[in-house]
């Protein structure tokens, strides 16, 4: 049996999305900027996709910019806004649990003379809107907080934070890469100025992303060259990718309720089964399912290494993630788990199981079987297991 439980790292492209894309690799190959028939045909498809994205997010088509992915959209929004407003102030507010695309953009800006406040989160990963307000100074120009966390699934109170930003005339950007297709994403309702998406996280292609930027919000041009994307991002438009993200977002929104309900059901079944089968584990992230992405679960297994668990699950055909895909390969435990107060040694033994719209309870049964055997076996060989149980108990008492 092969089980894919790493949908937060990436998803496959839906067959009908792929079919919609295929003509744009061959027959309709024109450059969307060309002034002949081939170009016009490509541009028509791009315009249609832009309309689909705008409709899905409840904004105007002129507020949609196509990029190469979620990382680029975050970079473009944060650096682009900061550079365009450096005369107004040099302070940015973000959180400690952002995706590296946001954190590293902020670090780069720090090197350029900006000041960044990295807000703490509580033990379920929530940013406190009051802490955002308290961090505001007369130099603050931008707030960037993610809509939903990629490791522990926390859905942040962006609407409230956006209201605070607005009251202080500060721009707000949100990384909604993990949110779309899992929870409603309506830019008017959220009240954000900029928002980032990535095609491959919701059954669309890789290498295509979206930046929503409210009309009137100024940012510096991200990629210098031609005048594509209203002169904010040069480079020939990726017609197949754009067509793909258009179809994918249309489906994601149409099937949102059905998919979210299914994922939450399978996820809840998995979480209960794990909790019933193993002791000395921590379920990281919100306990209240309504404040958590429906497909997300994240556990720390006291006394063992996440990499060891991942290796054994992989041998059994089960694909999961230890920490986040971006930091796997490094030996540092996840910055997100440390930020919610998981002790370093316990954070090392963490695995994210992220469910998709097609996972089944049969797959969960198989996964839990393998997982329980693996954890028990690794623990029986672990020299630090007994020692860490003490640490774990202290940690549970605190909560």
Q: Which spans of this chain sit near ligand PLP (rule: CB under 6 A)?
A: 69-71, 99, 101, 146, 150, 175, 177-178, 198, 200-201, 209
| DSSP-based helix, strand, coil % in the chain, nearest 5 | 45, 15, 40
* Closest residue to ligand PLP: CB criterion: 70
CA 144 to chain centre: 13
In the complex, the smallest distance separating the C-beta of residue 71 from ligand PLP, rounded to whole angstroms, is 3
- Tell me the C-alpha distance between 240 and 383, whole Å: 52
At closest approach, how far in Å is the CB of 149 from ligand PLP? 7
The pair of three-digit structure tokens given for residue 281, joined into one six-digit string:
């584990």
3-state secondary structure of 296: strand
Distance of CA 287 to the CA centre of its chain: 19
Catalytic residue among 59, 106, 326, 395: 326
Q: Which is nearer to ligand PLP, 228 or 324 (CB)?
A: 324
| Nearest residue (CB) to ligand PLP, 70 versus 129 | 70
* Strand-pair partners of 3: 318
* Nearer of residues 70 and 191 to ligand PLP, judged by Cβ: 70
Coil, strand, or helix at residue 289?
helix
* DSSP conformational letter for 291: G
CA distances from 102 to 72, 145, 297 (A): 10, 9, 22
Query: How far is C-alpha 53 from the chain's CA centre?
Result: 18
Give which of 268, 323, 300, 5 is closest to 149, Cα–Cα.
Answer: 323
**Least distance in angstroms from the C-beta of 78 to ligand PLP:** 12
Q: How many residues belong to the chain? A: 399
Known catalytic residue: 326?
yes
Q: Pick the closer one to ligand PLP by CB: 196 or 313.
A: 196
Quote the distance between the C-alpha of residue 228 and its chain's center.
26
* Nearest approach, Cβ of residue 285 and ligand PLP (Å): 14
Tokens of 198: 């990535």
> What is the pairing mode between strands 91-95 and 115-119?
parallel
Beta strand 350-354 pairing with 296-301: antiparallel
In the complex with ligand PLP, the residue whose CB is nearer, 175 or 363, is 175
Name which of 157, 202, 173 is nearest 10 in CA terms. Answer: 202
Report the C-alpha gap between 395 and 320 in whole angstroms.
Answer: 25
At closest approach, how far in Å is the CB of 390 from ligand PLP?
34
**CB 372 to ligand PLP: min, Å:** 29
> Judged by CB, which is closer to ligand PLP: 95, or 300?
95
Q: Which residues are catalytic?
A: 326
């Amino acid at each position: 049996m092969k089980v894919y439980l790493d949908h937060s790292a990436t998803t496959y492209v839906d067959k009908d999305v792929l079919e919609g894309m295929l003509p744009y690799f061959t027959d309709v190959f024109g450059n969307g900027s060309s002034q002949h028939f081939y170009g016009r045909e490509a541009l028509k498809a791009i315009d249609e996709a832009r309309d689909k994205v705008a409709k899905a997010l409840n904004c105007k088509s002129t507020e949609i910019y196509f990029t190469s992915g979620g990382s680029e959209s975050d970079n473009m929004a944060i650096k682009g806004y900061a550079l365009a407003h450096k005369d107004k102030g040099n302070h940015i507010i973000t959180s400690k649990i952002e995706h590296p695309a946001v954190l590293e953009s902020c670090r780069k800006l720090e090197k350029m003379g900006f000041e960044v406040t990295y807000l703490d989160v509580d033990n379920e990963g929530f940013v406190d809107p009051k802490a955002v307000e308290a961090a505001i100074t007369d130099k603050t120009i931008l707030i960037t907080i993610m809509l939903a966390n990629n490791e522990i699934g926390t859905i942040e109170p962006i609407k409230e934070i956006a209201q605070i930003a607005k009251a202080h005339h500060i721009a707000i950007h949100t990384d909604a890469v993990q949110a779309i297709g899992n929870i409603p994403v309506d830019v008017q309702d959220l009240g954000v100025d900029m928002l980032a998406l990535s095609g491959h996280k919701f059954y669309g292609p890789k290498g295509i992303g979206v930046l929503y930027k409210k009309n009137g919000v100024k940012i510096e041009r991200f990629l210098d060259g031609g005048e594509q994307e209203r002169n904010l991002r040069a480079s020939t438009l990726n017609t197949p990718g754009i067509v793909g993200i258009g179809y994918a977002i249309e489906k994601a929104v149409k099937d949102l309720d059905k998919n979210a309900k299914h994922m939450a059901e399978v996820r809840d079944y998995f979480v209960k089964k794990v909790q019933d089968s193993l002791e000395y584990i921590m379920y990281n992230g919100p306990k209240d399912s309504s404040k958590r992405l429906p497909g997300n679960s994240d556990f720390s297994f006291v006394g063992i290494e996440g990499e060891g668990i991942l290796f054994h699950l992989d041998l059994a055909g089960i694909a999961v993630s230890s920490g986040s895909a971006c930091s796997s390969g490094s030996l540092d435990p996840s910055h997100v788990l440390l930020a919610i107060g998981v002790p370093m040694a316990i954070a090392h033994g963490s695995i994210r199981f992220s469910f998709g719209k097609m996972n089944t309870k049969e797959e969960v049964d198989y996964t839990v079987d393998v997982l329980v055997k693996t954890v028990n076996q690794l623990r029986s060989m672990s020299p630090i297991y007994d020692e860490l149980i003490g640490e774990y108990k202290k940690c549970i008492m605190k909560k």
